Structure 1
Amino acid sequence: MSAAPDKTAVPDESTASLARSSALMASGTLVSRVLGFARSVVQGAAIGGTTQVGAQTFDIANKAPNVFYMLLAGGVLNAVLVPQIVRALKLPDGGKEFVDRLVTLALIVMAVATVLLTLAAPFVVRLYAGDWPSDWLTLTAAMAFWCLPQVFFYGLYTVLGQVLNAKGSFGPFMWAPVLNNVVAIAGLAVFMVLVPDAKDLTAGGWEPWMVALLAGTATLGIVAQALVLFWPLHRAGFRYRPRLGFRGYGFRSAGRVAGWTFAAVVVGQVVFALTTRTSSNAGRELARLGLDGATNASYTYAYLLFMLPHSLVAVSLVTALFTRLSGAAAAGRTPAVRRDFSTGARTVTVVGALSTAGFVALGPWIGAAMIAGGRPIGQVLAAMAVGLVPFSVNYLVSRVFYAYEDARTPFWVALVNAVLMGVGNLVCWLAVPAQWTVVGIGVSMSVANVVACAVGLVLLRRHLRRLDGEGLGGYLLVRTTIRVGLIALVAGGLGYVGAHLVGPVDSRLVNLAVVLVGGVLVLAVFTLLCRLMRVRELDDLVSPLLRRLPGLGRR
């Protein structure tokens, strides 16, 4: 008896459209990351690296808006806006009045929070600066006064970007940060010309106009990043009109989702604080004992590398999928939700497995190529990378629940992750030697991601009844995961053997060569085996990019 045909198979054009949208967003993210690195280099040349007064005070002042924005509204807005707007688009007026009120409410909340935080700048900096000298605290507070207004413009950027996403326009949201980096680099260049000796200034040597130029242009970049989105919104036909009065417009469900999402963000911040304390304690102990090993800085570098493939692929793909998922959930089209979830999960699994193979095989050489003595960075990265695929898949799982306006379930999954990470941190702090404490944190992070993803998938399967389209037996995702797991094991194993034939070396140039050659080897073996084992997701993702290259456009 033949199997029933898959009634929910993805049409080729739908898959191609999704891949094009993801590729467009990923390219914007990549350009922004490259410019962000260039910005860091210029900033180091302008105010110094990690030890100069200006560099340390500006780091705290410019970091505070990001932390407070994420705590206040970052995850909340991303979880709430798209599903609410997609549902509103089905109203008789196209959701115009509802969206105006929703945007107005979000901006009022962000504006009030920003004003309060800016007025409290001296208290805000004390949360991060600790026991700094009074003149350092005064300078940091002055910089924070210019930087904290970024909180509102981060919120405006997110709100306008999510309206665009809900309307199916994904590129501007991911490309706008490029303008932010361009403005910030230009501001730093002007600062270098006008204040060439900034690296040598004491805290008392900074004049008000210097603070305004340095911190003000950083904020100007965020302002530009937000305001530039009005142009694509206008082209998409969106005309915003502020509207007050929020009772009777169905915002109760949005408030419920926001509350649970905020709780999940708080849980994550608590774990982040514990991780920072544990890794910082390990660094102090290593310094006391005169030993080499991974520190908090190693964790930061490793986490940035860990997040790169997630940001380029998973975030871009899920952003494109979220609007479709929200529309299908609102219309009660569960088979379409299953289909899009399966497509997204299989794609991020393939790309995540490739990244994991490279990170685990070449981690120490990647770290050593980045900075002198950076092998501990690669060790932490390899430990983290084992949980990369579950981390990205769980990110998609949470978006499916958000599409159904269910933020409670992702909260419990996040709590499971947080508890496991917390226990892992305590074990590393109390029982693991200082040389391996931060590597142990990476291992606990992977364990937490694997378990949380498993819990999320079980709960999602209970909600959707199966995780793949009908006629597939619900096992297409499982089969793809097993195949790419074996492929990653072979590709990564060959890369690992090749790198270890070279062995540890001190030359950053040689380490970079090992990374490049080993990376090409892992990629070639992985791609070849994917073709032989008929894993199509890699081709589906890469083809839109290849068609943009000269000479490949008609293939």
Structure 2
Amino acid sequence: MSGGLYRSANAGPGGDAPPDDGATLISVRAADQAIAEPPGTGPEPAGDPGAEAGRGSAAGNSAMMAIGSLVSRGTGFLRTAVIAAALGGGLVGDAYTTAQFFPGMIYELLLGGILTSVVIPVLVRRRKTDADRGEAYTQRLLTLAVLTLGATTLLAVLAAPLLGMIYTSDGSTRGLLTALSYLMLPMMFFSGLSAMLSGVLNTRGHFAAPMWAPILNNLVVIGTAGLYILVFGAELIRPSQMTPARVLVIGGGTLLGIVVQSLGLWPALRKVGFRWRWRFDFRALGLRELGRLGGWMFCYVAVSQVGVIVLLRLLSQANAEGNVAGAMIYNNVYLLMMMAHGIVAVSIITALMPRMSAAAADGRMHDLAADLSRGTRMTTAVLAPIAVCYAVLAQPIATTLFNRGAFTRENATATSLVLLVAALALVPFAISQLFTFAFYALPDTKTPALINIPVVLLRVAVQVGVFLAFAAEFTASGLMVGNALSYVAAAVLSAVLLRPRIGRIGLREIMTSFGKVLVAALVAGVAGLAVVSLIFGGGGAADAGGGRNLVALVAGGIVICGVYGAVALALRLREVTDVVAMVRRKIGR
């Protein structure tokens, strides 16, 4: 249901795309298992090679994962900013963004959603039931994955020109897109390999390497973009000016990043006692069971990819001349939205998922509904001030973060318009994801997949309508409008279909909380606008220097969050008062 482009693991909890997720749709039983049995808490027989690696306090592992997530998100965002400075927000940047998306799209279809919702739970079960702790089963599965990913990657590279025709209507960009795709499509093989190896480590209680390896990826790509700027300069150029050397540096460096990420996992595999061995007796995998379990998740991902194809085509047609917001600008804004969602909403989902899963397993649907209600109110209350900051401070944010190198002031202004609309989509997206995970807790992957069909159809209809009705410079913002409406629809449909299964979720309490959040957000927004107006005087943020925009960003953010918190406390918004009480208890200790 995400409606976004960025699918690398570096934006997600583990580092790049993809998100997301985040936008990343991490599901179901895998996340539940990993959280419900943190390292050192599950049964681990004596003599198991991975036992020592898996031991440790839950608090220590949680702290390590939190730090890793923050560093990963920070380096992932720096990666995005440096790439934007090197390539700019025009046609070259759009071609790079689209080429980077190809391997993520194919990987998601093959493995992405199925990995966390099906493969990891099966590995966990085999590790507990098989005499060899699931060693042979894991080796068979890795062998099959490597062969499948290898064959698909080869076919994808051969089909690179066809992919270019599908995803862009601009002939001047298609040649560059194809050239970059030849270098970047092999990323799907290493992305899949990295994900599988991370899954093996997680099922053996090792979370450090999967959390930190994507940071290596980010650092390599940051270095690549820096090298590109050093050798070729940072200026906005046309696709025809992208020489083979430029393509080789930026495309090859991006591929090298995911290769390094994959290699970074091998020492950890040896540490937990896993040894690679080719096994071709695939009948022992129970492929029919894997296919049955993963079918609905595949449907979910496939429908979502149709929406993304339409989105990329519309962005390509709107930005045919390279002077309005295209794929890179849209994707940068989507990443900002996913960062807020990942830090706040994913943390809440992570905390609630094992509780909801346990309640569903025990038939305590009232408790599941209570947790869902609590998560909805908490997510809204915490994300609202961030959404206000995105809306009120859109221009200072875009200018401060992106306006350098080949990313021009005009690109920054176009970014701010998209970010303004994305602010409206942030909370609905988070709520829709929370409701999706409520289905996964039941467990149920079929209903979210079926809900996704009308949701994507609605999104595509709105986006095409906006494209036809408005000028090209409003296309990217209009696509965000389609996202926002589809997220609302997804949340409403999910709530309606959940009601017969889990009972009332406290709609009156939720709406009361929403009302208080809205009042606090409006007051904070007015205060933020006053600060911004005072700093910029009669001029606009787009014409101001970077220093003044940075001051406006910092001062405006402090005022918005401070005023929001004060009003929320005055209104006795329970979710905010609970956080304040928790902080006071911590300080008191």
Q: Bin the TM-score by the shorter chain.
A: 0.7 to 0.9
Shift in Å, 1:379: 3.4
Name the aligned partner's letter for residue 197 of structure 2.
L
Q: How does 1:134-283 map to 2 (within 5 A)?
A: 137=175, 143-166=180-203, 169-187=206-224, 206=244, 214-236=250-272, 241-247=277-283, 249-282=285-318
Shift in Å, 1:265: 2.3
Aligned mates of 2:283, 2:114 — CA distance in 1: 20
Shift in Å, 1:180: 0.6
Give yes or no for contact 1:58–1:140 (8 Å, CA) kept in 2: yes
Instruction: Give the direction of change, closer, same or farther, for the CA distance of 1:395–1:87 in structure 2 (3 Å limit).
Output: farther
Per-residue CA distance 1:492-526 (angstroms, 9 max, x = gap)? 34323443555634214333322221111111123
What residue in structure 2 maps to residue 351 of structure 1?
382
Provide the alpha-carbon RMSD of the alignment: 4.5
What residue in structure 1 maps to residue 393 of structure 2?
362
Give yes or no for contact 2:325–2:473 (8 Å, CA) kept in 1: yes
Identical-pair percentage: 32
Name the aligned partner's letter for residue 521 of structure 2.
A
Give yes or no for contact 1:181–1:221 (8 Å, CA) kept in 2: yes
What residue in structure 2 maps to residue 303 of structure 1?
334
Q: Select the residue among 487, 492, 495 that pairs with 2:525.
A: 492
Q: Select the residue among 430, 446, 449 that pairs with 1:408.
A: 446
**In structure 2, the residue corresponding to 1:496 is in which secondary structure?**
helix
Q: Select the residue among 392, 417, 420 that pairs with 2:458.
A: 420
Aligned mates of 1:455, 1:322 — CA distance in 2: 20
Instruction: Give the direction of change, closer, same or farther, for the CA distance of 1:103–1:361 in structure 2 (3 Å limit).
Output: same
What residue in structure 2 maps to residue 113 of structure 1?
152
Instruction: Give the direction of change, closer, same or farther, for the CA distance of 1:489–1:89 in structure 2 (3 Å limit).
Output: farther
Give yes or no for contact 2:94–2:328 (8 Å, CA) kept in 1: no
Instruction: Give the direction of change, closer, same or farther, for the CA distance of 1:445–1:81 in structure 2 (3 Å limit).
Output: same
Give yes or no for contact 2:528–2:559 (8 Å, CA) kept in 1: yes
Aligned mates of 2:467, 2:502 — CA distance in 1: 40
Question: Which consecutive unaligned segments of at least 5 residues does structure 2 have?
Answer: 1-35, 42-56, 404-408
Shift in Å, 1:303: 2.4
Matched, 1:517 2:555: yes
What residue in structure 1 maps to residue 343 of structure 2?
312
Shift in Å, 1:121: 3.9
Shift in Å, 1:464: 3.2
Aligned mates of 1:39, 1:534 — CA distance in 2: 40
Matched, 1:76 2:109: no
Name the aligned partner's letter for residue 24 of structure 1.
I
Q: How does 1:416-495 map to 2 (within 5 A)?
A: 416-432=454-470, 436-465=474-503, 467=505, 480-495=513-528
Aligned mates of 1:464, 1:126 — CA distance in 2: 46
Q: Select the residue among 428, 448, 465 that pairs with 1:390.
A: 428
**In structure 2, the residue corresponding to 1:428 is in which secondary structure?**
helix
Instruction: Give the direction of change, closer, same or farther, for the CA distance of 1:17–1:178 in structure 2 (3 Å limit).
Output: closer
Aligned mates of 2:73, 2:151 — CA distance in 1: 33
Name the aligned partner's letter for residue 155 of structure 2.
L
Per-residue CA distance 1:8-62 (angstroms, 9 max, x = gap)? xx9xx999789747733541332222431454267x1xxx546797x77766654
Instruction: Give the direction of change, closer, same or farther, for the CA distance of 1:382–1:247 in structure 2 (3 Å limit).
Output: same
Instruction: Give the direction of change, closer, same or farther, for the CA distance of 1:405–1:350 in structure 2 (3 Å limit).
Output: same
Shift in Å, 1:309: 0.6
Give yes or no for contact 2:157–2:185 (8 Å, CA) kept in 1: yes
Aligned mates of 2:413, 2:279 — CA distance in 1: 55
Instruction: Give the direction of change, closer, same or farther, for the CA distance of 1:423–1:37 in structure 2 (3 Å limit).
Output: closer
User: Which TM-score applies when normalising by structure 2?
Assistant: 0.72
Instruction: Give the direction of change, closer, same or farther, for the CA distance of 1:438–1:220 in structure 2 (3 Å limit).
Output: closer
What residue in structure 2 maps to residue 5 of structure 1?
none
Give yes or no for contact 1:78–1:158 (8 Å, CA) kept in 2: no
Aligned mates of 1:254, 1:329 — CA distance in 2: 23
Instruction: Give the direction of change, closer, same or farther, for the CA distance of 1:98–1:124 in structure 2 (3 Å limit).
Output: same
Give yes or no for contact 1:32–1:178 (8 Å, CA) kept in 2: yes
Shift in Å, 1:154: 0.5
Shift in Å, 1:362: 2.7
Give yes or no for contact 1:35–1:178 (8 Å, CA) kept in 2: no
Instruction: Give the direction of change, closer, same or farther, for the CA distance of 1:453–1:198 in structure 2 (3 Å limit).
Output: closer
Shift in Å, 1:74: 2.6
**In structure 2, the residue corresponding to 1:183 is in which secondary structure?**
helix
User: Which TM-score applies when normalising by structure 1?
Assistant: 0.75
What residue in structure 1 maps to residue 79 of structure 2?
36
Give yes or no for contact 2:463–2:482 (8 Å, CA) kept in 1: yes
Aligned mates of 1:18, 1:347 — CA distance in 2: 24
Shift in Å, 1:301: 3.9
Aligned mates of 1:242, 1:539 — CA distance in 2: 53
**In structure 2, the residue corresponding to 1:387 is in which secondary structure?**
helix
Give yes or no for contact 1:299–1:377 (8 Å, CA) kept in 2: yes
Per-residue CA distance 1:175-232 (angstroms, 9 max, x = gap)? 3221012223444556677x5589899779636xx86665433222101212323444
Shift in Å, 1:435: 5.8
Aligned mates of 2:292, 2:136 — CA distance in 1: 21
Name the aligned partner's letter for residue 199 of structure 2.
Q
Aligned mates of 2:500, 2:137 — CA distance in 1: 32
Give yes or no for contact 2:418–2:480 (8 Å, CA) kept in 1: yes
Give yes or no for contact 1:32–1:177 (8 Å, CA) kept in 2: no
